[in-house]
A = this chain, B = another copy of it.
């Protein structure tokens, strides 16, 4: 009965969409029905490689399980951004940004996701994590494997109506499960190898796929399932996606997993560590030495680098320093613009944020195929 009611409600919504086919035209500005109640708009698209999002009656269509991943990933917020961005990246391999519109997950509620993430027990038969075996020993207990589970919907447009075109499910497994032996006691760790985590998630993925197929709306759409491995809480980068599978409409078990080879590093590398390409690490270290002594007080220079296989996919550089005037900020930023172009690896997207104890002060970025960095100094009247 409940499912039926939802269906009627959806069918009754007058989906007024200005664009059709080419999504780049379906932005707000061409949509005259923006104030009508029940109307659907799209957010507009920043670049061709971003999905537009769905706005209902002037409000963003938030996820039915809004906030669950947020809470689950509070131990290391890098995981949150990394997990959700990674889900978008995997989705783009299957659902083209030119054809599909992004919608926050509408089929799994907070309660459902929370139950799935809990341990299986008599009172929680849908739990995807193993039952509590009673042990408090780091190596003998059953750890919590699955830390987060998120749904993203991909919509297609036809005759100015949106309909579900596919779903992506991200399953995040722990590399370390943090637990307490007593309520306010110390935190202990159970380590989970990549192989263990991946195997557990793959098996859970089959269960999830079967459950999703029981929902009538999800019976006949492709469902992508991607497995992510969380970084530990002390990491300065997020984790990474290990494998994904595209499951054709109607299929109830995963037939094939495609491996992903994306890995994240922090620069400077810690001693003994190596990155897939040592040139990038030395480029960064040249840049760092040009920058850190710019002022009499030392500036901190670190970076997150992402690799796809052996090749650098992008870099987020983080610079912190103490400024003593607005003109120092302006001139430092100008210096970074030329220095970054000279020293940092070319051909990949890079951004640089410059912060002081008062927060961000300036910001530079360069898109994949550009040569020059653009810059912005944050200002105030």
Contact = CB atoms under 8 A, between A and B. Distances in A.
B327 A59 contact: no
Interface in A36-63: 43-46, 50, 52-53, 55, 58-60, 62-63
B351 A43 contact: no
Contacts of A333: 46
Contact of A381 (B237, B293, B338, B376): B237
Contact of A46 (B58, B304, B375, B381): B375
A21 interface: no
Can you tell how many copies of this chain the complex includes?
A: 2
B326 A60 contact: no
Contact of A338 (B29, B88, B330, B351): B29
Interface stretch (A115-123, A211-219, A357-365): A357-365
B70 A337 contact: no
A107 interface: no
B376 A70 contact: no
Interface residues of A, number: 74
A104 B327 contact: yes
Contacts of A44: 334-335, 337-338
A52 B330 CA distance: 9
A67 B305 CA distance: 35
Interface string A369-381: 0000001101111
B353 A43 contact: no
Interface string A18-35: 000000000111000000
Interface in A291-346: 293-296, 304-306, 314, 316, 324-328, 330-335, 337-339, 341-342
B380 A78 contact: yes
Given A46-B334, A358-B77, A63 B324 contact: yes
A264 interface: yes
Interface string A61-84: 011001101100000011011101
A67 B324 contact: yes
Contacts of A55: 294, 335
Contacts of A335: 28, 43-44, 53, 55, 60
A284 interface: no
A190 interface: no
7 contacts: A28-B338, A59-B293, A84-B327, A104-B325, A152-B327, A316-B380, A363-B363
Given A29-B342, A69-B325, 17 more contacts: A43-B338, A44-B335, A44-B338, A46-B337, A53-B335, A58-B293, A60-B295, A78-B380, A81-B379, A84-B326, A88-B330, A152-B327, A238-B381, A305-B381, A314-B381, A353-B378, A359-B360
Among all A-B residue pairs, the 9 with the closest Cβ atoms: A53-B331, A44-B338, A84-B326, A28-B338, A43-B334, A43-B335, A264-B381, A81-B380, A304-B381
